[in-house]
Structure 1
Amino acid sequence: MRKPAGNKKSTTMNASMAQSCTTEGYLEAMKEVLVLTERRYEGDGSLSNMPREYVDNVLQEDGLVVDALMRVGFAAKRVAWCNDGIRWDACAAALFRTTWDYFDRWEAFSAWLNHASNQTTLFNDPGILRWNLDKHYLQDLEQEGVAIVPTAYVPKHGHVPLFEVCDQRGWNDVVIKPAIAGGAFDTYRVTAQGDGQVLSPEPSNGSNSKELWHGLVAKHDMLVQPFLQDVVASGEVSLIWIDGQITHAVKKRAKQGDFRVQDDHGGTVKRIDVSDELVQLGTDIMERCTRLCHDRGWASPLYARVDLMRDDNEAWQLSELELVEPELWFRFCPPAADALAQAIQRRLQA
């Protein structure tokens, strides 16, 4: 049986909408796709305190998507997910793009997601969004046969010391990160050195590794993963997936002395050509993910970013599969934005 294109809202106009707009205006609104960002990047991005070049990249990326949607006949505009002036039931769909503050405003975001998913079609499917917002999804993918970076999961308020987690697995150089976060937020490299541990980056409050771990576990479910040296030596490869195919790929590199590849932290990115082997690996990961989605009654993913690293044996492993608000680097491959817009059109017409 063919799976649904996405979550479908009711097609019945409610009484308040009938009073507030004409039939013509309502039908016109139903051709609108909203491209979701956050408050800092709404409009010209002037509320952001990030460097202007960074903000301009955000605006360019979202702008390419808006333009592509308009080319296939939609009205389209960028709006912050938290914009109280938006009638979510008066648009055809909402597309997640640069909603990068969700973990800072988790309760408000979760409530909004529950509301919006009952008002309009969301891309990706809201079931996928809720699942992928928490990095415990890696466990599910591993059970589907995907080779992931080995991961230990420590629950919030857990009392297991970090050194014990590492000793149990024979790790002396690890990365720790919250299960719900993005952009390397509260992410640290912890390296055993003599009788102590070295932290990178150094915590702003000057805490040692024990104090840092205690504070993080008090706030978050945490993940612990072995640090893979190839991230520093060669970088991380990201494959961009749009509605069934890999459209392009990039390599992200950390700045000298850091391990975080995100441009928020000084990392760089460039488009690369990848081998047939990597394309096949990315395709296989997405096929396994899609089967999992179908088994749970969700639509197929519309877009994804497959982040890959090589382990110490040079085997590729999945570090993250981003299905909510991944940067997709359309500025390196504008036709991929058109592919996304065309896929949205097909799904809404299905």
Structure 2
Amino acid sequence: MKKYDIIILTDRRYLDFSNPAPYVQNVLKEDTYIREALEEEGLKTGRLSWDDANFDWSQTKAVLFRTTWDYFDRFDEFSAWLDKVSKQTRLLNSETIIRWNLDKRYFLDLEAKGIYCTPTRFIEKNEKTSLKELHSQTGWEETVLKPCVSGSSRDTFKLNPSIIEDHEAVFKELIQKKAMMLQPFQQNIVLKGEISIMVMGGEFSHAVLKVAKAGDFRVQDDFGGSVQLYHPTEEEIAFAENTVKVCSDELPSYARVDIFTDNDGNLALAELELIEPELWFRICPNAAKLLAAYIKKTHF
């Protein structure tokens, strides 16, 4: 008999409940909401760091990715762990979905299915090019450069013609290590913010509006951005639900669809988060109950 029904996955930095840092307390609060909701569904639940070498992963029926926020810094190790554990237990979301969603080149698949995404120039590892050449090719003046595999705006730079030359060296260094992507800078994200729409079991649950602090373009609260409950339009909800519906042959248990109004006034996808997105249960605790009920219904 398996010891657990489901393990909530975090990383080792977030195991200590005595850490008083507000950011860590938010992490713990989020995980507590989903843990209590799963237990209300009668599921025996634990919480472990994904790299816990002492736990036999075959002793849980499923694992739920929540706050594994070091995976992009330890990508090779995480990928190997993912391959191993997927053979021992059920992953939520599945290994297939996770591997597809790890790399932002998933935009290409979504565009082929009719989802309007942020225009993107993908730059492969060791590609022989420069930022000056890329800006000339695309015709974009203000841009954002970031890795195809990353999170929390790591190695992300806002560029314009006056500072491109200053960033050529760091670009050359980055492209030797990883694939990158260049996108036109979106003024409306700064002016109006970015909308995150949460979808549980294919259906809208709640949404938040993320707004960058004055003078910045990054909306994450790590960089001083603010988050508030948001009431999306029917068009925005339909966009999010359709994106989740077409992204995979299997329906993700949870998703966060980040959208915005682009420079041309079009509703566009900024990111589709299916691995370990912040879901802001602390703003809408009922969403944790919706996710727990869906997991119980479909996987147990």
Q: For this structure pair, what is the TM-score category when the shorter chain's length is used for normalisation?
A: over 0.9
1:241 aligns with 2:199: yes
Determine if contact 2:72/2:151 at 8 Å carries over to the other structure.
yes
1:287 aligns with 2:245: yes
Any stretches of 5+ residues in structure 2 without a counterpart?
none
Residues in 2 aligned to 1:165 and 1:286: alpha-carbon distance in whole angstroms: 31
1:127 aligns with 2:96: yes
The one-character-per-residue Cα deviations of 1:200-224 (angstroms, maximum 9, x if unpaired) are xxxxxxxx21112111111210010
Determine if contact 1:162/1:210 at 8 Å carries over to the other structure.
yes
Residues in 2 aligned to 1:215 and 1:230: alpha-carbon distance in whole angstroms: 30
The one-character-per-residue Cα deviations of 1:65-96 (angstroms, maximum 9, x if unpaired) are 00001000011122100011111101110000
Q: TM-score, normalised by structure 1?
A: 0.83
Match of 1:165 among 121, 134, 137: 134
Aligned to 2:71: 102
Once superposed, what is the RMSD of the aligned Cα atoms? 1.3
Moved over 4 A (4+): none
Percent identity for Structure 1 against Structure 2: 41
Residues in 2 aligned to 1:253 and 1:212: alpha-carbon distance in whole angstroms: 28
Aligned to 1:306: 257
Residues in 2 aligned to 1:316 and 1:348: alpha-carbon distance in whole angstroms: 34
Aligned to 2:15: 42
Amino acid in the other structure paired with 1:320: E
Q: Post-superposition shift, 1:43?
A: 3.2
1:112 aligns with 2:70: no
Residues in 2 aligned to 1:308 and 1:348: alpha-carbon distance in whole angstroms: 29
Residues in 2 aligned to 1:215 and 1:252: alpha-carbon distance in whole angstroms: 31
Mapping for residues 1-350 of structure 1, pairs under 5 Å: 26-27=1-2, 29=3, 31-44=4-17, 46=19, 52-193=21-162, 196-197=163-164, 208-289=166-247, 293-294=248-249, 299-349=250-300
Q: TM-score, normalised by structure 2?
A: 0.97
The alignment partner of 1:159 has SS state of: coil
Amino acid in the other structure paired with 1:243: G
Residues in 2 aligned to 1:347 and 1:306: alpha-carbon distance in whole angstroms: 22
For these two proteins, the number of residue pairs brought into alignment is 300
Aligned to 1:3: none
The one-character-per-residue Cα deviations of 1:239-265 (angstroms, maximum 9, x if unpaired) are 000002010000111111111111111
Any stretches of 5+ residues in structure 1 without a counterpart?
1-25, 199-207
Q: Post-superposition shift, 1:137?
A: 0.6
User: Which structure is larger by alpha-carbon Rg, 1 or 2?
Assistant: 1
